[in-house]
Structure 1
Amino acid sequence: MAKAPIHHVPPTPRELRAQVVHRLQIGLFGLAAMLLLVGLANVILDRAYMADASAVADPDASASASTTPANDPLVDMGVTPELPAANRPADKTAPAAAPQH
């Protein structure tokens, strides 16, 4: 006679312990990865704050940046030709009224 198939075999205590150990390992690895990512983000933010603080503390850098004239980005890329200083729209003033004869 043929044996009837067994549909469910309950896990042995050894298998249950192996599952628990595996889940614990995965959880600890995930926790360590999160701590590493948070620490790395903290280091990056601290360096960004230090760079911002040193940029604000240097008054010579801000003074030299404000004295340079503003460049047109389209001219820098070569899309439009550079206009002479007299023909720039920002430099033009309203034309004077023509004298009447």
Structure 2
Amino acid sequence: MALFGLIPDRTPEPPVSAGETAEAARLAALQPAHPGPRELRAQAVHRLQIGIFGLAGMLLLVSLANVIMDRAKQVERTTTPAAAAASPSASPSAANDPLVDMGVAPELPVTGGAKPAARPTTRPAGN
């Protein structure tokens, strides 16, 4: 905060006797040292850099989300008429299939005929 003039300048301490120097050294080690003006400026610049990079990151994140939403709306606009046209001609069994409703599985036509039987394969008898 010395950058803004809130911390007063350091004043030299009065001389202390030899017996009190050990106690003063112990107390000085417990108290945090005030950073100098160069260190305070470096901290301020670091905070400013972090803030600018954070704002830039959020701007990129919001821009990416906007692009994704625009593409999703564009795809929805182009595929909605095709889905509405296919809906009236849907077969009765497709209404019971949720995968076809979501568009995950293709809609297969239901035929009235019987299913073809699988033909058994014959192996040659000469092993």
Same fold (TM over 0.5): yes
Structure 2 residue 41 is matched with structure 1 residue 17: yes
In structure 1, the gaps of 5 or more residues are 75-84, 86-101
**1:1-16 correspondence runs (5 A):** 1=18, 2=22, 4=24, 5=26, 6=28, 7-16=31-40
Q: Which letter maps to 1:37?
A: L
In structure 2, the gaps of 5 or more residues are 1-17, 99-111, 113-127
**1:81-96 correspondence runs (5 A):** none
Larger Rg: 2
Partner of 2:88: 66
C-alpha displacement of 1:64? 2.0
Q: TM-score, normalised by structure 1?
A: 0.60
Partner of 1:48: 72
Quickly say closer, same or farther: Cα 1:8–1:61, change in 2 above 3 A: closer
Partner of 1:90: none
Which whole-Å CA distance do the structure 2 matches of 1:64 and 1:15 have between them?
70
Number of equivalent positions: 73
Using the aligned pairs only, state the percent identity. 50
- What's the RMSD between the two structures over aligned residues? 2.3
Q: For CA contacts below 8 A with separation 6 or more, give which structure has more relative contact order.
A: 2
